[in-house]
Amino acid sequence: MNDEPGPLVTDRQFFSALVDGSAEDLDRILADDFVLIEVMGGSEITKSSLLEAIKSGQLKFDVVEPADTRVRLYQTSAVVTGRTQMSARLGETLIAIKSRYTHVYVEQEGRWRLVTAQGTQIAGE
User: Which residue ranges make up each domain of the chain?
Assistant: 7-121
From 45, 73, 75, select the one nearest 58 (Cα to Cα): 45
Model confidence over 31-65: pLDDT tens digits? 999 999 988 888 999 999 999 999 999 999 999 99
Q: What is the pTM of this model?
A: 0.91
Architecture category of domain 7-121 in CATH: Roll (3.10)
- Give the pLDDT of residue 5: 65
d(CA 40, CA 119): 8
